[in-house]
Structure 1
Amino acid sequence: MCGALVNGVFGIAVALLVAGADTLVHWRIYHASHVWRRGLRGEERMNRILRLTLERRGHRILFARTVPGHGSADELVVGPGGLWLVHNEAWQPDFELSHHGGRLFIEGRTQSKLVREVTARADAAARLISDRSGIPVKVRPVLAVHGGRMPRRTPFEADGITFARPLKLIWWMRRNPSADYSADEVEEIARAAVHALPIGGRVMPASV
């Protein structure tokens, strides 16, 4: 139609533009759902992103640590701006994530079990690290969303947890500090976290 109404060159240009936009849309859908399609939750992808971003900016990242009595923490981020416990979840591409009245809904259903487990894990980690380091700390729970359909405005907070795609979540963490730790304090807290949150349930001796 564009070629008939204007000229052939304009018609070809519009066709290429439409084809490019269609390819981009399908690529973004494919990319957003590839973690879920592989049967993963997203830890490996988030690990790589954290290493390339926050770890290079003076943050300490602990991977796959155990919070005794509360399961595994995918990643624990210790930085000048505070501590964050990162949980990863991948949902089907057509699953809708929303929040109403401060609560999380997935496909219209509340997620009480998920949010209860994640927040309890973060609270327990904070107690253990505080006891070990002698520095009162707060661990904020955040959830990296892989797949699913998110609200237009993200990150968003629901049930005390911040939700976002991985890169937006890191952007939010850097711009929303809850503490002001020195480099020495970051190292001290990170060492305490290594001892308090073992790998695979192995408790490290205090002398390590």
Structure 2
Amino acid sequence: MIGSSIYLRDRAAFTGGSPQAVYEELWQRGRKGRLRTRAILAGATLVLCGLLVNAVFGIVMAALVASADTFVHWRLYNASSVWRRGLRGEERTNRLLRHTLERRGYRVLYERTIPQHGQADELVVGPGGVWLMHNEAWHPDAEISQHGGRLFIDGRTQSRLVGALTARADAAADLISQVTEVPVKVTPVLAVHGGKLTRTPFAADGIVFAPPLKLIRWMSRNPSADHSPDEVEAIARAAVHALPIGGRITPPAAAA
């Protein structure tokens, strides 16, 4: 498969008949059709603009139309890259966080374990609050929307997903609060990789959903608290003590 690695063959995404493998095969099959359509669009633009203005203008516009069509299809294909590789998207989100919020004084903890509740992909501590970020990648044609305040994926509710994420954030808040000895609120958010979102960002079941970069912007523009720089550091230190890495359980200790 194009773009695959021999070191990743144990992933379900690389097995024959998997949704990712089928999508990749269909994409490659459609290459001739995309090139044919691109040629028709460019040719029509060349003739029309050449007649209306001149030949040089027609050539320039035809090249622009072909480039635009290529870019649109590349964006569609690139948007599914995380899902096609059988990943959830945390690596992409991590890179964005390092180049945005971390440079602005936010503290980010990666891959922290919440005992009995699984893993937090990212825990973001900043002046505006504390957020537990989760990542999910869906098929590029999956419809992600909210109706009546509830999350729907392809018309089906996602009670297990939102319930687990909410419980994880609540548990993280309790553990961090035990160390800081003051209440700390942790807000769950979900970074969406792929799929079709009706609008972004949107809130459903008490959780905000958006592509990673838009979600990061939303977090910086929608504070849920007002923490001083010293409080940000204290909460981050408390989270380091309260939330272990790789399953290591560390008893909560009072923050210095």
TM-score (norm 2): 0.78
Q: Structure 2: which amino acid aligns with 1:30?
A: Y
- 2:169 maps to 1:118: no
- 2:204 maps to 1:161: no
| Aligned counterpart in structure 2 of residue 67 of structure 1, from 94, 98, 114 | 114
* Larger Rg computed on CA atoms: 2
- What is the rounded CA distance, in whole Å, between the counterparts of 2:58 and 2:99 in structure 1? 43
Percent identical across equivalent pairs?
73
Could you say which residue in structure 2 is the equivalent of 1:24? Answer: 71
Unaligned runs of 5+ in 1: none
Q: Structure 1: which amino acid aligns with 2:191?
A: A
Give the alignment of 1:150-189 within 5 angstroms. Answer: 150-151=197-198, 153-189=199-235
For residues 102 and 207 of structure 1, do their structure 2 counterparts lie closer, same or farther at Cα, with a shift above 3 Å needed?
A: closer
What is the deviation of 1:4?
3.5
Q: Structure 2: which amino acid aligns with 1:91?
A: W
What is the deviation of 1:7?
2.5
| Aligned counterpart in structure 1 of residue 189 of structure 2, from 142, 147, 155 | 142
Could you say which residue in structure 1 is the equivalent of 2:148? Answer: 101
| Aligned counterpart in structure 2 of residue 83 of structure 1, from 106, 130, 151 | 130
- Native 8 Å contact 1:135 1:189 kept in 2: no
Q: Structure 2: which amino acid aligns with 1:70?
A: H
Tell me, what secondary structure is at the counterpart of 2:190?
Answer: strand
Tell me, what secondary structure is at the counterpart of 2:70?
Answer: helix
Q: 1 or 2, which has the higher helix percentage?
A: 2
Root mean square deviation, CA, Å:
1.5
- What is the rounded CA distance, in whole Å, between the counterparts of 2:245 and 2:97 in structure 1? 19
- What is the rounded CA distance, in whole Å, between the counterparts of 1:35 and 1:4 in structure 2? 45
Could you say which residue in structure 1 is the equivalent of 2:60? Answer: 13
- Native 8 Å contact 2:181 2:254 kept in 1: no
TM-score (norm 1): 0.95
Q: Which has the higher contact order (CA 8 A, sep 6+)?
A: 1
- Native 8 Å contact 1:84 1:142 kept in 2: yes
